Structure 1
Amino acid sequence: MTFTRRPFLAMSAAFAFGAGAAGAAPDGFLGEWFGALDLGSRQLRLKLEVSAGPKATLYSLDQGGAPIPPGETRIDGDRIFATWPVISARYEGQLTGGKIVGTFRQGGALPLTFARAQETSAKPEPLTQEGLAKLRADAGAPALAAAALSRNGRRIGFVDGRRAVGRGEAVTIADKWHVGSCTKSMTATLVARAVEAGAIGWNDTVGQTLGGAIADMRAEYRDVTYRHLLSHRSGLPANVDIAQLIKFPRESADARADRVAYARSALAQAPAGRKEAHFEYSNSGYVVAGAMLESRLGAPWEMLIADRVFAPLKMAGAGFGAPGTPGAFDQPVGHAATAAGALEPFPPGGPITDNPAVLGPAGRVHAPLAEVLAYLSAHCFRSPFLKPESWQMLHTAPFGGDYALGWERRGDALWHNGSNTLWYCEMMFDPKRGVVSAAAVNDGRIGAMAIPVGKALSGAAAAAV
């Protein structure tokens, strides 16, 4: 199992304009159309521009608004079909009642209606216990939890469902949830703590830190710094080869040697793109950063983050890997779909409960949602846990774009999601609104879970403010 995070509509910087089908577009389709993809935690506003050819150019208004060039565009009577190869997306719609009603596909499938006028995005409805239960039931998830906290002290939390399919134990508000790649911002926060302690520097390089252990790393990576690694601007590919990954143990009391071995493999790979200019979401980058921390600070990443991040923030329930005691079902259990489509639980103590321990810095933390809110509050309200300049470093994209150090910026808010293919989680904080929220499900079907979890996340925030 490897971590993935692929937002809708992220696109390449290089455009290759495709030719549309021959013939003129019917007048009913020509011109500008506006719609929005419901991604659960937000609405992604789109503009569709249909011109003669026909040619359907797409604009993601909330992601910079640059034109996304079409590949193939076909119009047949009252139906339109369009593709955008640079983002691996397509749309099929029917003109009816002055609107184009259809389906947008980019990995998953989402309903998408275009209208002539740009509508104001609807505000999320405040979440209730009944609303959360409906989201869970409609998604078919074993359990769903959401919580939020505002600067005025209002706190809400809702849970619904069972810890495992086929079991009777109900989830509780105190249960622990696997946060997947939301761990990344925690690793970045650990780096900030180490910088403030004078143990490392933001601009320490891979070559300086790991050169003695990995003398044969590719030259392109020698000058890569923590800032590159934590913002996915190092040039490193997403992961090492799966055949290499599965050789690492699922659990380890001390994964330092494994992280050096992983880093050696990652740093031997050809770059996915040029440092700083190219964004490549990379679990490997965070493992390399973890190995650098371990090399300089002389302890496993797990011990470092527990002592320097979790303990000061009073996150006593935070841990690593699958939560719970083998055989006890005292915590939620992760689930995946079988080939037949049924959900199968993967309880602790089994052979597969999480990614290998080597991936810890990229995504193996679990915690109760109350403690996740404490962590998010430190970021949102910039507590004395870190100096103002450190918070600013963590929350700023150092080389452009919208990805900071472990966080994706969404307007005034910072957000992230995570999954190890057995769980799915989203968390966010919004300094302008003064609210933090988190939502999680013990179901790894990301395509089916992203929207209900996102709705729980935004609804919880709305209920708390």
Structure 2
Amino acid sequence: MNITRRGHLHALTATLGLALARPALAANDAFPGTWTGVLDVGAQLTLRLVIDPDGVGLISVDQGSGRIPGTEVVLDDRRIRVVFKAIGATFEGALTDERHIDGVFTQGGAHEIRFTRGLVAEAAPEPARLPLTPDRLEQTRAAAGAPAIGAAWSSVKGSATLVAGLRSTQASITVKPKDQWHWGSITKSMTATLCARLAEAGGIGWDTTIGQVLDGPDYQTPAAFRDATLLHLLSHRAGLQPNVIGMEFSSLLLGDPRADRLKFARAALALKPAAALGARMIYSNNGYVIAGAMLEKVTGRPWEALIQAEVFAPLGVKHAGQGPPGSARRIDQPFGHTMTAGKLIPDPPGQPGSDNPVAIGPAGRVHMPLADMLTYLRAHRDRPARFLKPETWTRLHTPAFGDAYALGWLVRKDGGLWHNGSNTMWYGEVLVDPKTGVVCAACANDASAGAKKAVAEVLMAARAAALG
């Protein structure tokens, strides 16, 4: 959310489809046609390149996106480079034979992908992963230049937590296994879980609309969004813009954030629709803020209190909090970092801009230790009936609109649940693998491209360690 210098959350790959002018292609007989590939970003996403006389378009098949136009296109003999400005992504590749384009798709992190001519991607074998060890974690962290990385996993064989690196680049204090990590948009599944709890209690329903909750004597929801339901919001199907831009909201702790959150929600609803209701998936932090505002309206309690009482406490998550962990005057927890003039500079808590605005809490401000994250993930693996009914767990984990996005989770092709999160100073990924019984998490106190790639590698190495 480009509200402040750092006020945005990490978007999943290929989730926007904006209509921009498409540059015409120079004549080149080798590339025209449709190409399909599978991008492995923790979850596997099917992407389609459409190359025709009007330009190059990208479609995220699993996420139901429209054609995302290439805004800069270079075709040079057997090489291709396309910039997709709308989603901040670039693809660079080369024809390796008449049926394949091999290259790298970059959006935050860099990911190798093979496009095959036609509508069917060739199945990519699961890359061999070496199990995570302390030495391997430190080697990966050092190669990425991240201040610190932590990882944890749990399976029937047991649990483990590994950490490596420093809490701050400006001190020699090492990270500890019980340290707190900021999880960004992984908060979304927590907000969806909270919605499930309140839906079972009868306070709100999946089909409850924005208008039914937020309309009142002093406010009427714009017609384009009035009939959007809680399910639309949590599935990124309400047609909302991704972020609120150009308004200032406090990133420092507020006594009662409800007024700020409602102001943010109304600002998001005042924006022009990005798509018709339910038409396509557009990853929107705004939607989760509006969902949080709805919960606050029907319960009379702040989202921060609700998530603690209805999700964290019942599940045994003991040390979760909001915003950047730690104290401003002491390095008692890891600090997030920002790349400035080629150097990673720590962002101490308590400073303006050290996290996303408080209003955005339901979309991405939770921090917690790795052990608590495993506790949360195990609940989604084990689906305890004392916490939610079986059909409610299924609702949380099942895409409602035919794409790959469930309620706060991206569903992998193997049935696993994955998500990532970042406030641009931290980056994390989590995975719930019901088939193998493995849950794992990884996080860095840095969100550079190198750190993102390292976290993705560490997550899969943690999974390999859990599988033994």
TM value normalised by structure 2: 0.85
The alignment status of 1:159 with 2:177, answered yes or no, reads: no
Q: How does 1:426-437 map to 2 (within 5 A)?
A: 426-437=429-440
Q: How does 1:391-430 map to 2 (within 5 A)?
A: 391-411=393-413, 412-430=415-433
- What one-letter code is carried by the residue in structure 2 that aligns with 1:450? K
Partner of 2:254: 252
Shift of 1:317: 0.5
Contact 1:132 1:456 in 2 (8 A): yes
- Specify whether residues 213 and 148 from structure 1 end up closer, same or farther in structure 2 by C-alpha distance, changes over 3 A only: farther
Say which of 114, 117, 126 aligns to 1:121: 126
- What one-letter code is carried by the residue in structure 2 that aligns with 1:165? T
Partner of 2:3: none
The alignment status of 1:262 with 2:267, answered yes or no, reads: no
Shift of 1:123: 3.3
- What one-letter code is carried by the residue in structure 2 that aligns with 1:353? S
Q: Distance in 2 between matches of 1:261 and 1:56?
A: 39
SS at match of 2:150: strand
Partner of 2:7: 2
Partner of 1:168: 172
> What does the per-residue CA deviation read over 1:6-36, in whole Å, with 9 as the maximum and x for residues that have no partner?
33455749999986533544xxx99999976
The alignment status of 1:366 with 2:363, answered yes or no, reads: no
Q: Distance in 1 between matches of 2:62 and 2:270?
A: 36
Partner of 1:80: 79
Shift of 1:273: 0.6
Contact 1:251 1:356 in 2 (8 A): no
Between 324-333 and 155-164, the greater mean CA deviation after superposition: 324-333
Say which of 280, 287, 290 aligns to 2:289: 287
The alignment status of 1:444 with 2:447, answered yes or no, reads: yes
| Structure number with larger C-alpha Rg | 1
The alignment status of 1:376 with 2:372, answered yes or no, reads: no
Say which of 174, 189, 192 aligns to 2:193: 189
Q: Distance in 2 between matches of 1:56 and 1:230?
A: 31
SS at match of 1:451: helix
Q: How does 1:4-403 map to 2 (within 5 A)?
A: 4-9=9-14, 12=17, 20-22=25-27, 24-25=29-30, 39=41, 41=42, 74-76=75-77, 79-81=78-80, 83=82, 89-93=90-94, 102-105=103-106, 109-110=110-111, 120-150=125-155, 152-212=156-216, 215-242=219-246, 244=247, 246-248=248-250, 250-338=252-340, 340-384=341-385, 385-403=387-405
SS at match of 1:312: helix
- What one-letter code is carried by the residue in structure 2 that aligns with 1:212? G
Q: Distance in 1 between matches of 2:352 and 2:58?
A: 45
Shift of 1:206: 1.1
Between 59-68 and 428-437, the greater mean CA deviation after superposition: 59-68
Contact 2:147 2:445 in 1 (8 A): yes
Shift of 1:335: 0.6
Equivalences, count: 452
Gaps of 5+ in 2: 1-5
- Specify whether residues 213 and 457 from structure 1 end up closer, same or farther in structure 2 by C-alpha distance, changes over 3 A only: farther
- What one-letter code is carried by the residue in structure 1 that aligns with 2:200? E
- Specify whether residues 362 and 38 from structure 1 end up closer, same or farther in structure 2 by C-alpha distance, changes over 3 A only: closer
Shift of 1:305: 0.8
Shift of 1:439: 0.6
CA-atom RMSD, angstroms?
Answer: 3.5
Shift of 1:4: 3.3
Shift of 1:326: 2.6
Q: Distance in 2 between matches of 1:350 and 1:57?
A: 41
SS at match of 2:198: helix
- What one-letter code is carried by the residue in structure 1 that aligns with 2:401? F
- Specify whether residues 93 and 146 from structure 1 end up closer, same or farther in structure 2 by C-alpha distance, changes over 3 A only: same
Q: Distance in 2 between matches of 1:294 and 1:147?
A: 33
Q: Distance in 2 between matches of 1:312 and 1:269?
A: 37
Between 247-256 and 399-408, the greater mean CA deviation after superposition: 247-256
- Specify whether residues 463 and 306 from structure 1 end up closer, same or farther in structure 2 by C-alpha distance, changes over 3 A only: same
Q: Distance in 2 between matches of 1:262 and 1:69?
A: 30
SS at match of 2:337: strand
TM value normalised by structure 1: 0.85
Q: Distance in 2 between matches of 1:58 and 1:247?
A: 34
- Specify whether residues 318 and 66 from structure 1 end up closer, same or farther in structure 2 by C-alpha distance, changes over 3 A only: closer
- Specify whether residues 452 and 213 from structure 1 end up closer, same or farther in structure 2 by C-alpha distance, changes over 3 A only: farther
Shift of 1:352: 2.9
Q: Distance in 2 between matches of 1:156 and 1:147?
A: 6
Q: Distance in 2 between matches of 1:420 and 1:68?
A: 25
Q: Distance in 1 between matches of 2:362 and 2:102?
A: 43
- Specify whether residues 201 and 126 from structure 1 end up closer, same or farther in structure 2 by C-alpha distance, changes over 3 A only: same
Shift of 1:461: 1.5
Q: Distance in 2 between matches of 1:271 and 1:177?
A: 34
Q: Distance in 1 between matches of 2:59 and 2:174?
A: 44
Contact 1:148 1:438 in 2 (8 A): yes
Contact 1:237 1:282 in 2 (8 A): yes
SS at match of 2:315: coil
Q: Distance in 2 between matches of 1:291 and 1:36?
A: 36
> What does the per-residue CA deviation read over 1:174-207, in whole Å, with 9 as the maximum and x for residues that have no partner?
1110111111111111111111122222222111
Gaps of 5+ in 1: none
SS at match of 1:145: strand
